[in-house]
Every structure is written in structure tokens, then in C-alpha cells.
Amino acid sequence: VRIALGLKGLDYEHVTYDLRTDAHKVASYLAIAPHGLVPALETDEGIIIESAAILEWLEERFSAPPLLPDDAMGKAVVRSMAGIVACDIHPLNNLRVLKALRADLKAGQEAIEGWIDHWMKEGFGGLEALVARYGRGFAYGASPTLADCYLVPQVYAARRFGVDLEAFPAIRAAADRAGELGAVKAAHPDLQPDADRA
Ligand SMILES: N[C@@H](CCC(=O)N[C@@H](CS)C(=O)NCC(=O)O)C(=O)O
């Protein structure tokens, strides 16, 4: 969502919630986002939760620059790429799932790392084929789309977890190309107001 806001040149106030201290589970945040997950976007029209809904709203309200292709098939492909990350990879490796694996299923650190590695690679396998087919520098085509808004953070997470991305050259190239953009650089976790300072 930060990447899309930046690509569209939109100014926003950034309110952070530290997931490590369960700040997203307090009543004041649940009043904003009843599902207890970040992000949420507070707009003049109301509050929007769920990244896909936020991104589609931004696209509808602030059409320039467009983050979806013109044609219906192009839009479908970009949404397929986004869906692989949003539905097939990210939720399985989310904090609450990893916590449940540890607490309820008694998984140790090695098992958790194996789980993350498995589901990232499983999802990246399909995504790699799409990016290799449709990418022309970016994940889809020659300019950034919603697909890059999903791809960049997922590749960041993969690298943070030490997942070997050798088998996914198209994904790596697209994420690295997008990473050169000012809007993407500014959205990097290390540059956020709540980032741990070394
Ligand atoms: N489907 C939601 C997922 C949101 C989500 O899982 N956010 C993560 C941070 S990237 C979170 O809030 N995790 C907290 C937790 O797992 O307790 C979306 O796309 O917005």
C-alpha cells in the first residue's frame, strides 16, 4: 500500500502499530480495523481495510499514473500475480500463523523456517512463470503495476527469512528493477518511522 501511495504521488499520514507488541490488537485499533491486521487506510469517504480493497480504491480514485493495464486480460494477469502473493504466499507466513505453529503445534525454529521456505517457493514457482511471460522490466509490462506493489514486499520478506531465490530469476529481476524507483525506495521498511535503528 505504501508503494502504491508513493507511485501515485499521494501524501499521507503514517500511523504505525508495532505487531511485535500486539499493538494491532488493542481496542482503539480494532475500532478502525476489526480484523486486527494492518494496513488500514482512513479516507475522506471512510476506512478501508484489506490491501487489495485499498489498492483498488486508490486506483479508482487516483487514476494517474495507472497501476493496472488498459485491457481486461492485462488487468486479469496483474490481479493473478497479486493474488498469488496475497492469497497463496503471504497469509501462510503471517505472524499470527507462525505464532500458532509455535504455540499450538509446538513447531520449533527449524520447522518454522522450513514451512516459510516451502510456501514461499511454492507460490513463487507459479509467479515466476507469469513474470517471465508478461514482464518487460517490471512484473507485468514496462511500467509498475499493482503486481509490483505485491512482489516487492514479498521478495523483501523472502530475503529477510533467508529463502533462496536462485530459481526465480524473473521475480528477482522485476523486484530489483522496481526497487530502483524512488516511491519503492521510500516505502522500504527500514525507512519507516517505527523502524529499528541500529
Ligand atoms: N489480507 C490482509 C492481510 C493483512 C496482514 O496479514 N497484515 C500483516 C502485516 S503484513 C499483519 O497485520 N499481521 C499481524 C498478525 O499476523 O498478527 C491484507 O491484504 O491487508
Write out pLDDT tens, residues 118-173. Answer: 999 999 999 999 999 999 999 999 999 999 999 999 999 999 999 999 999 999 99
Beta carbons within 8 Å of 114's beta carbon, 6+ residues apart: none
Residue whose Cα lies nearest atom 19 of ligand 1: it is 51
Q: Is 66 helix (H, G, I), strand (E, B) or coil?
A: coil
Write out pLDDT tens, residues 96-125: 999 999 999 999 999 999 999 999 999 999
- Mean of the per-residue pLDDT values of the chain: 97
Torsion sign across C-alpha atoms 68, 71, 76, 81: negative
Q: Ligand 1 atom closest to Cα of 25?
A: 17
pLDDT given for residue 176 in this prediction? 98
For the cut 60, the answer to whether the pLDDT of residue 46 exceeds it is: yes
Q: Ligand 1 atom closest to Cα of 95?
A: 16
Helix axes 109-134, 169-178, angle to 10 degrees: 80
- The finding on whether 86 has its CB within 6 A of some atom of ligand 1 is yes
Q: Ligand 1 atom closest to Cα of 86?
A: 19
The CA-CA-CA angle for residues 4, 161, 140, to 5°, reads 35
Distance 36 CA to ligand 1 centre (A): 8
Q: Is 72 helix (H, G, I), strand (E, B) or coil?
A: helix
For the cut 80, the answer to whether the pLDDT of residue 197 exceeds it is: no
